[in-house]
Structure 1
Amino acid sequence: YVLSHESAVVVVSDLDGGRKVMSLRRGHCGLRRDIPQAEGIASDDRDTLWIVSEPNLFYRFTRMAAS
């Protein structure tokens, strides 16, 4: 994962060189507001993505099952 608060995106790379871009702006990924100044990122063994931003806000993103 690469986090850019300037561009408001997370870039997810895989071992085959593929990339996906995840916008941190309102209207994307279920966000009602832009994520302000994203500063930290982590993931767990369940593919949950955690982002922390100023002022002490935490965001959790989970993968949705394909239907």
Structure 2
Amino acid sequence: MPKAKTHKGIAKRFKVTGSGKKAKHRSANRGHILGKKSGKRKRHLRNGGIVDGANARMIVEAVRPSL
């Protein structure tokens, strides 16, 4: 049976946490057209987020297929 391959698109967008059960992501809407966005909004967009639940399991399996 062939080896399972890492999904490269998901691997570039998410990082699996140390426990291996959740995934971190960066916030969207911070690339351009920033003049109309408030400073508070841009400041909060600097922080990423954590993916939980079934979505996290799907991401972890796609990024680390050997686990």
Q: TM-score, normalised by structure 1?
A: 0.30
The structure that is strand-richer by fraction is 1
The structure that is helix-richer by fraction is 2
- More RCO (CA 8 Å, sep 6+): 2
**Considering only CA atoms, is the larger Rg found in Structure 1 or Structure 2?**
2
Normalised by the length of structure 2, the TM-score is 0.30
